[in-house]
Structure 1
């Protein structure tokens, strides 16, 4: 089980699983190595997996009609990512997920997760609690984006997530915050 220590520690922060439940859960996990700049999700294909980052960094983004990238999430170790609309509704993805670094991820297939959640209440509760937390964060992000200046958004993010801000390329952080890389340079030069 030590091969899945990180994700089992994550689960243990929310719920307690018995040894047999841990065995059932780890039986559906698949470890995948991805290279920097490799796509894990692409538009037009159903996002089959819920992905947990063991090592590395990943961004999820979409391209608008003009070809401009808009980063919707950045994840590092101990974070989940997918195109949740595609994953949950079994429809073609609208987002890309790209490795920002050589990464190791754990993947869980939709059907396997659903089947286990039907049998193991604690796992169902775990996924519910984690998604509720993610939804709460997403709602806060919307409020921040509409109520704060670009400089306030930048400093709030850098203060809250220095381990990400210092690790990802400036253009990715700018895309996530909805500002230009040049604006980030100006903001940094004023500090």
Structure 2
């Protein structure tokens, strides 16, 4: 059960599940190891799983028509990731999800989560609360991107998430913040 400790602790921060509900939930989890630079999601294929990171780091990014990468999320241990539009609407993904490190993830099929949520109210409540918090964070990020300078965005991220900023490549952080890697180098040199 130790591989499930992180996700069960995450759930327990929001709701209480009975032992039977925990057993039902863990029965739908698929354990997957992914290597650094391996893709978990690719455009054109439906994102079948909601993924939880047990160990490692993953980024989700979009590739524009000019071939430029735009990182939309970065996750480490105790974070979820997927192409949520694809996952929820059962349509082809538009994003890539790539391991930044060798990683261990737990995968939950859409149909399995929906079926369990129809029967286990606290689990449904957990996923709702988690998504609401993610949406709130996303909205805060949009406001930050349109109202703050690149230097302010950099320091805000580094101060809030030092455990991520110190682990990921500079070009990934730059892509996520919407600035160039050279700008990050200049910002760092001024500190």
Give the shorter-chain TM-score range: over 0.9
RMSD of aligned residue pairs (Cα, Å):
0.4
How far off is 1:6 after superposition?
Answer: 1.0
Structure 2: stretches of 5+ with no match in the other structure = none
Aligned to 1:95: 95
Give the corresponding residue for 2:182: 182
Partner SS state of residue 93, structure 1: coil
Q: Structure 2 length normalisation: TM-score?
A: 0.99
SS at match of 1:67: coil
In structure 1, what is the Cα distance between the partners aligned to 2:160 and 2:6? 22
Measured in 2, the distance between the counterparts of 1:103 and 1:38 equals 10
Q: Which residue of 1 aligns with 2:54?
A: 54
Q: Residues 96-129 of structure 1, C-alpha deviation per residue, up to 9 Å, x if partnerless?
A: 0000000000000000000000000000000000
Unpaired runs of at least 5, structure 1: none
Give aligned pairs, total.
191
Q: Is the 8 A contact 2:60 2:72 kept in 1?
A: yes
Which stretches of structure 1, 4 residues or more, deviate above 4 A after TM superposition? none
* 1:6 has 2:23 as partner: no
**Residue 25 of structure 1: aligned partner:** 25
Residue 112 of structure 1 aligns to a residue whose secondary structure is helix
Measure the CA separation in 1 of the matches of 2:164 and 2:98: 15
Residue deviations 1:3-33 (CA, integer Å, cap 9, x gap): 3111111111110000110010000001100
Is the contact made by 2:28 and 2:109 (CA closer than 8 Å) also made in structure 1? yes
